[in-house]
């Protein structure tokens, strides 16, 4: 029983690390630009397809393809902010929601048109490998994804707290008008925020590719979990999104292990409802952003 419990916790933490990259991207855009990005999952999907085609056409390992998917999606994020999101800032919530939701539908249907709904997978030398730690089996592919996800999350924290651009981003998130008066180019800061957010989504897609299939609707799975993590961890709180994602991964894994194969989402959403009933502002609602 204890071995089964430990195995479920380990599995949950490993997948929770990937959830964290997606949810941190969502909360970064919301915290800085004040826009809810419903298309974040589709950019995870694009990252998966980039890694898939690099692996199948050029023989590039999905982990190495991070060096391609992240810069490509960073540029896409900068262009998205400059040419689309910037146009709806200040117009209220509905135009922003419709914009990102329409972008989500557009990307999903374009990929369906181009590549159909077929599942595409990449098999690497470590896809089926596992490390035995007593009675616990740790998937090497998932362990690598977790470690890289945590390193990227740590790098983002350092960027936000130790660099001038990161501090400018935090200032623009808190008081954009005051930031502008202090000489901060908020449009540049917003472009970087959206670019970094989409780069994290691309990284998540590349990390998933060795053990998760790519298909046009795959983003819907991850964006749903990301929004739950963002709400649980308090809107705009990057650290809260990280911790909530790990908690969700464990809760989902425990639900699948002890209740049923399709009960993971039920456990996660039950946790969300219980948290909102007790702490409507999220688990970290009392913390500073």
Q: Is residue 133 part of a domain?
A: yes
Candidate ranges 31-45, 89-103, 198-212, 256-270; pick with highest mean pLDDT: 198-212
- The sign one gets for the Cα dihedral 104, 105, 110, 112 is positive
Which residue, 84, 206, 59, 64, is CA-closest to 145?
206
pLDDT digits (tens, 9 = 90+) for 136-161: 889 999 999 999 999 999 999 999 88
CB atoms within 10 A of CB 9: 16
User: Has this prediction a pTM greater than 0.75?
Assistant: yes
Residue 157 burial (CB count, 10 A):
15
* Domain that includes residue 93, residue range: 11-218
Residue 177 falls inside a structural domain: yes
* Residue 232 within any structural domain of the chain: no
Handedness of CA 68, 209, 14, 43 (dihedral sign): positive
Domain assignment of residue 113, yes or no: yes
In a domain, 27, yes or no: yes
Distance CA 256, CA 263 (A): 6
170 pLDDT band, cuts 50/70/90, is: confident
Q: Indicate the number of domains in the chain.
A: 1
- In 3D space, the residue among 254, 225, 242 whose CA is nearest the CA of residue 283 turns out to be 242
Phi, psi of 120 (to 5 degrees): -125, 130
Taking the CA of residue 151 as centre, how many other CA atoms within 13 Å lie in the half-sphere pointing to its CB? 8
Distance CA 230, CA 242 (A): 9
Residue range 177-227, pLDDT digits in tens: 777 877 888 888 899 999 999 999 999 999 999 999 999 999 988 888 888
- Domain presence at residue 237: no
In a domain, 288, yes or no: no
pLDDT digits (tens, 9 = 90+) for 21-48: 999 999 988 888 888 889 999 999 999 9
> In sequence order, what are the residues at sequence separation of 6 or more whose Cβ sits closer than 8 angstroms to the Cβ of residue 97?
36, 38
More confident residue, 153 or 4: 153
Residue 123, in any domain of the structure: yes
């Amino acid at each position: 029983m204890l071995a089964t419990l430990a195995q479920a916790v380990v599995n949950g933490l490993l997948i929770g690390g990937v959830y964290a990259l997606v949810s941190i991207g969502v909360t970064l855009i919301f915290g800085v630009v004040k826009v809810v990005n419903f298309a974040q999952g589709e950019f995870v999907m694009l990252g998966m397809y980039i890694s898939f085609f690099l692996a199948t056409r050029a023989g590039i390992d999905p982990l190495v393809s991070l060096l391609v998917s992240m810069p490509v999606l960073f540029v896409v994020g900068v262009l998205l902010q400059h040419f689309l999101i910037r146009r709806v800032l200040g117009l209220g919530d509905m135009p922003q929601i419709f914009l990102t939701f329409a972008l989500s539908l557009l990307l999903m249907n374009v990929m369906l048109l181009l590549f159909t709904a077929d599942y595409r997978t990449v098999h690497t030398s470590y896809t089926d490998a596992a490390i035995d730690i007593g009675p616990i089996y740790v998937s090497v592919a998932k362990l690598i994804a977790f470690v890289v996800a945590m390193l990227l999350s740590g790098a983002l924290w350092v960027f936000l707290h130790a660099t001038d651009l990161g501090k400018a981003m935090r200032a623009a998130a808190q008081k954009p008008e005051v930031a502008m008066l202090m000489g901060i180019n908020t449009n540049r800061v917003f472009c970087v925020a959206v670019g970094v957010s989409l780069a994290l989504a691309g990284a998540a897609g590349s990390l998933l590719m060795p053990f998760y299939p790519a298909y046009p609707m795959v983003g819907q799975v991850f964006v749903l979990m990301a929004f739950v993590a963002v709400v649980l961890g308090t809107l705009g709180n990057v650290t809260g999104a990280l911790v909530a994602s790990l908690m969700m991964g464990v809760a989902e894994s425990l639900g699948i292990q002890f209740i049923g194969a399709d009960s993971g989402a039920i456990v996660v959403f039950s946790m969300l409802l219980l948290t909102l009933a007790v702490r409507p502002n999220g688990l970290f609602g009392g913390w500073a952003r």
